[in-house]
Amino acid sequence: MSKVYFIPVKSQDTADISVRAARLFEFLLKEENVVLAEKVPVKTHFGEKGNRTYIKPECYNGIIDILEKSNCADRFLETTVLYGGKRFKRDSHLKLAAEHGFTRLPVEIADGESGGEYYLANINKKHFQQCSLGKAFESYRQILVLSHFKGHALAGFGGAIKQLSMGFASKGGKLAMHMNVRPRIRKLFCKRCGMCVSRCQANAITLGKKPHIDQSKCLGCGACFSVCRHHAVSILSWKGLINALFRGKFFREKLVEYAYGACLDKQHIFVNFALNITRGCDCEPLPMKPCIHDIGIFASLDPVAVDRACWDVAVKHGKKFAGVEQLAYAEKIGLGKNSYELITLD
């Protein structure tokens, strides 16, 4: 049984959240006898341009203060994304990070300018023998993984495991996980607004009298599904339903295997912020409203346990996210445990 530490958040004030996060982080370090590495980078998500519900950098200040006092504060680490947008290449990603206020530490895009810099982690699992991860992650034995717990169109929900998988993967790794996810356009709902076309890096979408997605070109990244405001892009066509029922399961298993690869020979620390809990993820370039109220901050040395605790508490607050089966698979392959002891700080 793993230990998960929790502190409730009762205010949206970022200064208060920062203090609570620091208190929780310090408590975990003491209780788990964690020895911080010489250099501890911070892996987080800067939020896509247009998104407003990503965790604001001010919420991390207290934790970074602790790293600085320990002389191990290093940098923010992120990777490029598979689809278009400001995070597709390093230079525009760095500019976006600065625009969103992530200036407390230097920022490094771990897989380089276009996502081609990577290392291979040998895992020998069901879907992958190797994982292609951002090159810069390789040199660190310990990374502080700060994740926003919320929903996700394909994964069901996102937390530490999603951050470890898609967040650590190189562009090629992201493509490998997304293959076989096949969205379809429901033409009766399509308004021909062009939002999906603008986000499709593969130029697979054609609008007109019969809007459609060319499946021979589709990367399966799900960007079109995420940005469509009219619910015209769906994985619930007959063919898409088969993908959702069978290959959707495989997609989540692939996420878990990449998370496993990201943790190999590492001593990561996980902090999940269950705040601004939306149905969609921070990759979506849209303002979103929370689907349940703020819960608090969770921390653990076990990525499975911390995600499970977040999911369980979300259920108690009225939101049952899809995708929980990924946690069982994560335990099966040795990533972590679903059983946990929740230790609450007042």
Q: pLDDT tens, 256-311?
A: 999 999 999 999 999 999 999 999 999 999 899 999 999 999 999 999 999 999 99
How many beta carbons lie within 10 A of that of residue 104, not counting itself? 16
Spatial CB neighbours of 17, under 8 Å, sequence gap ≥ 6: 9, 11, 58, 59, 273, 275, 297
Q: Domain 183-234: which CATH class? A: alpha beta
The pLDDT value recorded for residue 199 is 78
As a whole number of Å, the end-to-end CA separation of the chain is 22
Asked whether this chain's domains 2-177+259-344 and 183-234 adopt the same fold, the reply is no
pLDDT digits (tens, 9 = 90+) for 142-154: 999 999 999 998 8
Q: In sequence order, what are the beta bridge partners of 108?
A: 77
The 10s digit of each residue's pLDDT in 2-17 is 999 999 998 999 999 9
Kindly give the residue spans of alpha helices, DSSP state H, lying in 182-324. 195-199, 223-227, 238-242, 248-263, 303-316
Q: What is the pLDDT of residue 247?
A: 57
Domain ranges of the chain: 2-177+259-344, 183-234
When pLDDT is cut at 50, 70 and 90, the band that residue 234 belongs to is confident
Q: What is the pLDDT of residue 289?
A: 94
What mean pLDDT is predicted for residues 58-72? 99
**Banded pLDDT at 333 (limits 50, 70, 90):** very high
Half-sphere exposure for 335 (CA within 13 Å, toward CB): 33
Q: Contact at 8 Å (CB) between 187 and 210? A: yes
Q: How many other CB atoms are there within 10 angstroms of residue 239's CB atom?
A: 12
Look at residue 226 and tell me whether its pLDDT is greater than 80. no
Highest mean pLDDT among 126-135, 139-148, 152-161: 139-148
pLDDT > 90? residue 181:
no
- When pLDDT is cut at 50, 70 and 90, the band that residue 242 belongs to is low
Which pLDDT score is estimated for 243? 55
The DSSP letter of residue 36 is -
Which residues, including other chains, have CB under 8 Å from residue 163's CB and lie 6 or more apart? 43, 44, 45, 145, 146, 147
- Average pLDDT for residues 322-340, to the nearest whole number? 98
> How confident is the model over 236-244, as a mean pLDDT?
53
Q: Mutual orientation of helices 248-263 and 171-178 as an angle, nearest 10°?
A: 150
DSSP 54-83: SPPGGGGHHHHHHHHHTT-EEEEEE---SS
**3-state class of 254 per DSSP?**
helix
Please tell me the pTM assigned to this model: 0.86
Mean of the per-residue pLDDT values for the chain? 93
CATH dotted code for 2-177+259-344: 3.40.50
